Chains A and B, each alone.
Chain A
Amino acid sequence: MIAELGLAALWLAAALAVLQLVFGTIFTFKSAEKAEFSQIVRPAAAMQGVLCALSFLILTWLFARTDLSVKLVAMNSHSMKPMIFKIAGTWGNHEGSMLLWVTVMAMAGALIALIERRLPERTMMATLAAQAFVGLGFYAFLLFSSNPFERLDPPALEGMGLNPLLQDIGLAFHPPTLYFGYVGLSVAFSFAVGALLTRQVTPDFARAMRPWVLGAWIFLTVGITAGSYWAYYELGWGGWWFWDPVENASLMPWLAATALLHSVSVLAARDALRAWTIMLGVVAFSMSMVGTFLVRSGILTSVHAFAVDPERGSFLLALLAIYIGGALLVFAVRAGSVTEGERFSLVSREGALVVNNVMLSAILGVVLLGTLYPLLTEAFDVRVSVGPPYFNPVSAIFALPMLLVMAVGPLLRWRHDNAKRIRPELILIAVLGLVTLAGVVAFAGIAVLPTLGIALAVVVIVASVMPLRGRKLRLLPLATWGMVIAHLGIGVSLLGMASETAFTQEKLAAVKVGDTTQVGPWTIKLDRIDPVAGPNWTALEGVLEASYRGGKPVIIDPQSRNFWSPPQETNESALITRWNGQLYAVLGREAGEGRWQLRLWWKPLVTLIWIGGMMVALGGALALIGRVYTDLRRRRVMRKAVERRSEASA
């Protein structure tokens, strides 16, 4: 019964989405005659959120109880799995993750329907209609091609388990985080389409859209950062970014959202970059959808094994064609009638933001091309694999100048500025950068990219706190703090990346119990090998004594695990984190004659990569809080003013 209830809630939500689409559209084009139609759209959106949430909770319940009469549960769960992983299993599969997607989207729709009142009603209705239109495609996808509540008759005796690699706390929260990001961008997409249809591209529109872009961007930042760390310690390869199609699928929306975030600020503050902002609004969500399509349809091969199904692929492609194609068509037809807005000179805050936007878009293009290139060449029967040798240098061509502009941009004034005004700062930045560059070249002698990376990181770190100079820190708006911390985070992360790339030391050794080996400043002794057992695995655990520069030894225990349902072998790496880096140890196979393979890395400053990433997200969160707070206050002041005016005229 319970599963059927979930399905019924989903159908009802889909029906409400139809209602929302039809009434919203009629209102958009005939607002004069059908004014009452707007009354039904907001409640429909709100109710949809409730129904989807109910449906998702029911699926979670089925997973928590391991209801094996439900096919999805039987295929993906197991009664012996720890509870947290049973629950995470809800969205650890195709159907469940699509339901999560739809749920988050419906709840976002409900939220804008309930709280967003500052835009013209027509724009709002067009936005909600667009949101319903996008939602409907995903409802159809779920209900017709990926029903999560499908029954299994007779019920299975035991579930088929979960990929043991995915039995990790990181997995429980990594995909949902990215989904929140993607869906937040769907709201920005709907806003963009709504504004285009009603030709209302105004600073108010930018302010309404901004929290959603910011929110989505924070989730994407956290998701990418966490995903990178997860891959780093879980896969046991010691790498933190592989330019894998699935990683690129999350990076591309992030790049678009970063550009959008900055251009929407220009639109909100200065009423400029109208068409460009709309275009980015469409592109950001499109990138989320293209990414989802690429990894779910199986047309690109990836280390991330998703259930691959050509029928689903075709369905997603059709959705893609309708939504993105439709939105880009509306853009092509309408963008010309949206004037570009205010002008500004190149040397100004806007000018710097435009350069940043162009560079981000170029990087986006580079990543997109690299990801799709294997598809293109296959059309000519050539198999290629595109990897770091392409992505690293080519994206750096655009990333390096972009970061330089990012360092300088916040020092400039809006509309028009003079480079002479900030000459002392520019000189300081230039000298600092050159000195670091010379120092690294002279003393370290490392590859070109990491050398530039380190110099640039120092420049960015110093420059990003410069906007604080000469200001009363207590009075500084939260949004400015957010910008400073986010930019600082980029510098910190860059320093980590460059340092890891340049200074990592690796050792592959076959060690007897009792023997020691060296990697970088570490001395590592293999103390013993112990058999250990977990709830659904057995493992060999290497007990290592690691000492840093002959100091007090620390015990670490990497494992080589064997899961038995389904049978699979994984490596659990063991880490020692110091302020100046991480020791990373993996236990391999027995190498014969009582020797064991050990894979060891010393990675100086590697943790800065993720610390920086979290700083970027924190900066975003501060900006979001600051913006929402200012918006609320602005609204209160406006309302008071209106009241006073009406009192005065009464």
Chain B
Amino acid sequence: MKHWRYFLPLAVFVAFIGVAAWQLTRPRDDFVHSAMIGKEVPAFDLPSAVGDRPGLSTANLKDGKPKLLNIWASWCIPCAAEAPQLARLQEAGATIVGVAIRDRPEDVAAFLDRYGNPYARIGRDDLSKVQLSIGSSGVPETFVVDGNGVIRYQHIGDVRPEDVKLLLSKLEEAKR
């Protein structure tokens, strides 16, 4: 081919069409998954977000018992929607610790009065620092953390009734 270079633009374009067509046919996953799964939670020490529950630090997550780490806020409507499911998880024996994002103590107290309080501890994360450091990009999110403080699983969005079983089995796995 004498003028092969004139075919270069066409070749680049064909490659683009290929990638784009392949992308279009794939189901889209709009969730941004945490890059921290399988890693240890970064060190933090949050003060208490509400009077009757202690704050949360990395040490609390490394006490040998797997836990659910729930990222939530009183101003978040899906968080209210998932409250009954969290209560069921707690009844089933799960230890749930919370991180309240950009919240005020009085609002947190009002929320817990109204929707119940499944949390053993609630840390106060006013600048979303801890939230971002564990790779959560929204509220609510629920992480399964094993007894050594390693993130094993991430659930994005509110916990629906059908998710309860899966989360309990992930907790069970984290014991091993």
Contact B19 A317 (CB under 8 A): no
- Residues of chain A contacted by B23 (CB below 8 angstroms): 299, 375, 378-379
Contact B6 A310 (CB under 8 A): no
Contact A299 B6 (CB under 8 A): no
Instruction: Decide if A275 is an interface residue (CB 8 Å cutoff).
Output: yes
Instruction: Decide if A329 is an interface residue (CB 8 Å cutoff).
Output: yes
- Residues of chain A contacted by B22 (CB below 8 angstroms): 379
- Residues of chain B contacted by A336 (CB below 8 angstroms): 2-3, 6
Contact A290 B24 (CB under 8 A): no
- Chain A positions 382 through 412: 1 when the CB is less than 8 Å from some CB of chain B, otherwise 0: 0100000000000000000000000000000
Instruction: Decide if A332 is an interface residue (CB 8 Å cutoff).
Output: yes
Contact B9 A328 (CB under 8 A): yes
Complex Cα distance, B24 from A299, in Å, reads 7
Residue of A nearest to B24 (CB): A313
Pick from B2, B3, B10, B20: contact of A328, CB under 8 Å: B10
Complex Cα distance, B17 from A290, in Å, reads 10
CB distance from B5 to the nearest CB of A (A): 9
- Chain A positions 292 through 324: 1 when the CB is less than 8 Å from some CB of chain B, otherwise 0: 010001110100000000100110010011001
Instruction: Decide if B104 is an interface residue (CB 8 Å cutoff).
Output: yes
Contact B16 A335 (CB under 8 A): no
Residue of A nearest to B23 (CB): A299
Instruction: Decide if A283 is an interface residue (CB 8 Å cutoff).
Output: yes
Complex Cα distance, B29 from A383, in Å, reads 11
CB distance from B59 to the nearest CB of A (A): 30
Q: Known: A297-B24, A299-B24, A375-B23. Is A290-B10 also a contact (CB below 8 A)?
A: no
Q: Known: A299-B23, A375-B23, A383-B32. Is A317-B17 also a contact (CB below 8 A)?
A: yes
- Residues of chain A contacted by B13 (CB below 8 angstroms): 286, 324-325, 328
- Residues of chain A contacted by B17 (CB below 8 angstroms): 317, 320-321, 325
Pick from B14, B16, B21, B33: contact of A372, CB under 8 Å: B16
B interface: dominant SS: helix
- Residues of chain B contacted by A602 (CB below 8 angstroms): none
Instruction: Decide if A534 is an interface residue (CB 8 Å cutoff).
Output: no
Complex Cα distance, B17 from A282, in Å, reads 16
Pick from B14, B20, B33: contact of A375, CB under 8 Å: B20
Instruction: Decide if B28 is an interface residue (CB 8 Å cutoff).
Output: yes
Complex Cα distance, B27 from A310, in Å, reads 10
Residue of B nearest to A300 (CB): B23
Complex Cα distance, B2 from A264, in Å, reads 26
A interface: dominant SS: helix
B window 23-41: CB within 8 A of A: 23-24, 28, 30, 32-33
Pick from B10, B16, B20: contact of A332, CB under 8 Å: B10
Instruction: Decide if A592 is an interface residue (CB 8 Å cutoff).
Output: yes
Complex Cα distance, B160 from A56, in Å, reads 47
CB distance from B15 to the nearest CB of A (A): 10
- Residues of chain A contacted by B6 (CB below 8 angstroms): 275, 331-333, 335-336
Contact A298 B10 (CB under 8 A): no
Contact B28 A298 (CB under 8 A): yes
Question: What size tier do the contact residues of chain A reach?
Answer: 20 to 34
Complex Cα distance, B20 from A298, in Å, reads 11
Contact B9 A317 (CB under 8 A): no
A window 100-132: CB within 8 A of B: none
- Residues of chain A contacted by B10 (CB below 8 angstroms): 325, 328-329, 331-332
Pick from B19, B24, B30: contact of A376, CB under 8 Å: B19
- Residues of chain A contacted by B24 (CB below 8 angstroms): 297, 299, 310, 313-314, 317
- Residues of chain B contacted by A317 (CB below 8 angstroms): 17, 20-21, 24
Residue of B nearest to A313 (CB): B24
Contact A325 B9 (CB under 8 A): no
Instruction: Decide if A279 is an interface residue (CB 8 Å cutoff).
Output: yes
- Residues of chain B contacted by A286 (CB below 8 angstroms): 13
CB distance from A479 to the nearest CB of B (A): 30
CB distance from B38 to the nearest CB of A (A): 15
- Residues of chain B contacted by A332 (CB below 8 angstroms): 3, 6-7, 9-10
CB distance from A286 to the nearest CB of B (A): 8
Residue of B nearest to A308 (CB): B28
Residue of A nearest to B22 (CB): A379
Most chain B beta-carbon neighbours within 10 Å: one of A301, A325, A328, A333: A328
CB distance from B106 to the nearest CB of A (A): 9
Residue of A nearest to B102 (CB): A589
Complex Cα distance, B104 from A313, in Å, reads 44
Contact B9 A293 (CB under 8 A): no
Q: Known: A328-B9, A328-B13. Is A299-B20 also a contact (CB below 8 A)?
A: yes
- Residues of chain B contacted by A372 (CB below 8 angstroms): 16, 19
- Residues of chain A contacted by B21 (CB below 8 angstroms): 317
Contact A283 B20 (CB under 8 A): no
Complex Cα distance, B19 from A119, in Å, reads 39
Q: Known: A297-B24, A298-B28, A592-B104. Is A331-B9 also a contact (CB below 8 A)?
A: yes
- Chain B positions 76 through 105: 1 when the CB is less than 8 Å from some CB of chain A, otherwise 0: 000000000000000000000000000010
What are 7 residue pairs bridging A and B, where the CB atoms are less than 8 Å apart in the complex? A297-B20, A299-B23, A301-B30, A332-B3, A332-B9, A383-B32, A592-B104
- A interface list, Cβ under 8 A from B: 275, 279, 282-283, 286, 290, 293, 297-299, 301, 310, 313-314, 317, 320-321, 324-325, 328-329, 331-333, 335-336, 372, 375-376, 378-379, 383, 592
- B interface list, Cβ under 8 A from A: 2-3, 6-7, 9-10, 13-14, 16-17, 19-24, 28, 30, 32-33, 104
Q: Which 5 A-B pairs have the closest CB atoms?
A: A336-B3, A328-B10, A332-B7, A335-B6, A332-B6
Instruction: For the A-B complex with A331-B6, A332-B7, A375-B19 known, give 15 more contacts whose Cβ atoms are closer than 8 Å.
Output: A283-B9, A293-B20, A299-B20, A317-B20, A325-B17, A328-B9, A328-B13, A332-B10, A335-B3, A335-B6, A372-B16, A372-B19, A375-B23, A379-B19, A383-B33
